[in-house]
Amino acid sequence: MKNDNQLIAGIELGGTKTIALIARGTEILDEFRIPSTSPEEVLEPVSNWLKKAREKYDFKAIGIASFGPVCLDKNSPEFGFITATPKPNWSNTDVIGSVKKWFDGPIGFDTDVNGAGLAEYYWGASQNCDTSIYVTIGTGLGGGIIANGVPLHGFMHPEMGHMRIRRNHQHDFKGACPFHGDCIEGLVCGPAIKARTGKPAEELMKEDPIWEILADEIAEFLTNLIYVASPRKILIGGGVMHDKEYFFQKIRNNINDKLGNYIHDLDLSALGEMIIPPKLGDKAGPLGAIALGIAALEK
């Protein structure tokens, strides 16, 4: 367990809702939820709630896990901003600035998926993994890579959801991504599934043939990730994946076929250990913000 004795504040800025919380390790002591309508309607109430909460809980750091794209380059004047996002009202939002105004302790800032991946590394399904990947498939598709306990950044942060893959041609669908059409997000995210089948993912029967097509396409994506990053675990969360072991198994079977026995020891049984749901479940997001706060405190 990771540095669980300090009080940490977190902000998870999600595409639909924002959660502010106070936690000690994985124990959430208090939280505040607000719909992610516009920066004005969210950031100030969140700061006000945290300021008030601080009277009761003397937190030592704040972690912010945000939907992207975000600027993570500390040398950029835009560090801590949500940059050019298709989400209305949120482009060029100074997220970190809204907190810096009143808090002078350590502040961690990263993508929601990097935060969730770090929380799973600290407390969840990827503990002790030198390299792990966290993917969420829901309204969109995003992923973060944790290497040696640190979320991977570089020119920006991974944008693996926009990877192009060899798609399944049983289904003629132009794709739902506003930038690329049929990138992996454009093929398999919640809105794409609805556009392909006429139904939201949660209403589709287990026997629906779309699952085999989606499993083939997601397996293309994950096979590429296995070759690129050599992860010990790939945790897949989000509404599309929730509570669907049958779908996980289809995905693993497809990955096994695509790998063609190329990677020694990575057989179907090993894939059963590698391709799994996150252990923290729907707390991976908010605890991701807490994990980023802990990481900032330790720096």
- Which residue's CB is nearer to Zn ion, number 115 or number 175? 175
Residue 86 binding Zn ion, by CB under 5 A: no
Q: Rule CB under 5 A: choose which of 33, 153, 162, 279 binds Zn ion.
A: 162
Residue 183 binding Zn ion, by CB under 5 A: yes
Residue 177 binding Zn ion, by CB under 5 A: yes
Stretch that binds Zn ion, among 66-74, 79-87, 158-166, 284-292 (CB under 5 A): 158-166
Which of 88, 139, 92, 94 lies closest to 113, judged by CA? 139
Contact assessment for residue 7 and residue 57, using Cβ atoms and an 8 Å cutoff:
yes
Stretch that binds Zn ion, among 46-54, 150-158, 172-180, 187-195 (CB under 5 A): 172-180
Which helix (DSSP H) or strand (DSSP E) does residue 151 occupy? strand 150-151
Interface mask toward Zn ion for 247-276; x: CB under 5 A:
------------------------------
Residue 179 binding Zn ion, by CB under 5 A: yes
| Cα(277)–Cα(243) distance, integer angstroms | 9
Residue 164 binding Zn ion, by CB under 5 A: no
CB of 221 to Zn ion, least distance (A): 12
- Which residue's CB is nearer to Zn ion, number 180 or number 258? 180
| Cα(151)–Cα(250) distance, integer angstroms | 29
Contact assessment for residue 57 and residue 29, using Cβ atoms and an 8 Å cutoff:
yes
∠ Cα 120 164 16 (to 5°): 50
CB of 90 to Zn ion, least distance (A): 18
- Which residue's CB is nearer to Zn ion, number 7 or number 188? 188
* Chain position carrying tokens 């919640």: 190
Stretch that binds Zn ion, among 2-10, 47-55, 118-126, 154-162 (CB under 5 A): 154-162
Restricted to residues 15-34, the positions that interact with Zn ion (CB under 5 A) are none
* Amino acid identity at 16: T
Q: Which CB contacts under 8 angstroms, 24+ apart, belong to 207-212?
A: 210/171, 211/246, 211/247, 211/250, 212/250
The footprint of Zn ion (CB under 5 A) covers 162, 177, 179-180, 183
